[in-house]
Amino acid sequence: VMALCLKQVFNKDKTFRPRKKFEPGTQRFELYKKAQASLKSGLDLKAVVQLPPGESINDWIAVHVVDFFNRINLIYGTMSEYCTEKSCPIMSGGLKYEYRWQDDSKYKKPTKVSAPQYMCMLMDWIEMLINNEDIFPTRIGVPFPKQFQQVCTKILTRLFRVFVHVYIHHFDSIINMGAEAHVNTCYKHFYYFIREFSLVDHRELEPLVRMPQGWGS
């Protein structure tokens, strides 16, 4: 069913295609293959996220940020028809949490927007960052900028909010589409990764700490 949903997304809405691929032959591509092989082998997800011996932490983080962006982009794409201006006029995670948008260009101050608007701007903003060679260099020997992990923290924090919104407001739709196992695995993988490298502030994780399919702090 999930494959069918993803196929429909590809056909229906070009906005939610994965937008970044790793070039074969590059070190990052090899690292990506290694990460995917571990994931598919059914290893414990806590072990899968650990930095392989001898690998650069920034390369490892870069590979995961791009991969999570692609996967979360698709997950949201499968349910975008249920997340509308009418159903979700505020980008929120239940009654207690509201997320405002700020991007230092058009929205210089945190601005209240609907969930679909937030998601659209978020995916465009991440795409712009990961395609920027000064931030995510792809050429061998080109170093990562000093603020690289800081930028990744911001990206991953905002991607976590997609899970918050989807789980709290659209979990019925996930179940109806038969996508629950897929979304849960992606969330679990994401959660263990950000915890392994302390990439998202623990306060940001609070909305999902008590969910039944959550994995605790």
Task: Name the β-bridge partners of 93.
Answer: 97
Q: Is 165 part of any known ligand binding site?
A: yes
Which residues lie closer than 8 Å to 208 by C-beta, 6 or more apart? 93, 163, 164, 167, 214
Q: Is 76 exposed, middle or buried (0-12, 13-18, 19+ CB in 10 A)?
A: buried
Q: Closest Cα partner for 120 from 84, 67, 174, 164? A: 84
* Cβ atoms within 10 Å of 172's Cβ, excluding its own: 9
Contact assessment for residue 179 and residue 78, using Cβ atoms and an 8 Å cutoff: yes
Q: Is 170 part of any known ligand binding site?
A: yes
What residues form the annotated binding site?
83, 88, 165, 170
What residues form the annotated binding site for Zn(2+)?
83, 88, 165, 170
